[in-house]
Structure 1
Amino acid sequence: MGIGLGVVLLLVGLILAFDVITIDAVNNVVDTNTLGWIFIIVGALAIVLALVMNAQRSRTTTRVEERRLDDRRY
């Protein structure tokens, strides 16, 4: 979920930052350029954090215990 959310935020941020779509209702309240850059930063941070968390999760150690039987008879 983290990587997908990061990509969505990154794409929405790029659309808002480079004025691909102008929304007058939103543009009157906040600056869409600044909002776009905030989404870009948050999206990139979400992708990096998701990758770090996935790398930590995959780093597991396994322990194998062997028991060998002796041929000696008591």
Structure 2
Amino acid sequence: MGIGTSIFLLALGAILTFALDATLAGIDLDVVGWILMAAGVLGLIMTTLVWGRRRTVVSTSDEPVEYRRVEERRDIAPPL
């Protein structure tokens, strides 16, 4: 779940919980809203944990990288 989906679930849950005053037979919209907000918060936490790990730089060796010097030779004719 991405950040956008998590924010959407949070907003939808808040609308169902706080702004909507409707009743459906057998469904409590306040509870559905709280569940959606909890899923949105959980999605945000999981997304930040996964993205935080993804941005970690892993080095396999402690040795510095070797640099090679490349020189252009002008005394040789270019290929045809």
TM-score normalised to the size of structure 2? 0.68
TM-score normalised to the size of structure 1? 0.73
Following superposition, the deviation at residue 6 of structure 1 comes to 0.4
RCO higher in structure (CA 8 A, sep ≥6): 1
Partner of 1:48: 45
Gaps of 5+ in 2: 69-80
Q: Please identify which structure carries the higher helix content.
A: 1
- Deviant stretches of 4+, over 4 Å: none
RMSD: 2.2
Gaps of 5+ in 1: 69-74
> Cα deviation per residue 1:20-57 (whole Å; 9 max; x = unaligned)?
13455xx2241000000000100000011111111000
% identical equivalent positions: 29
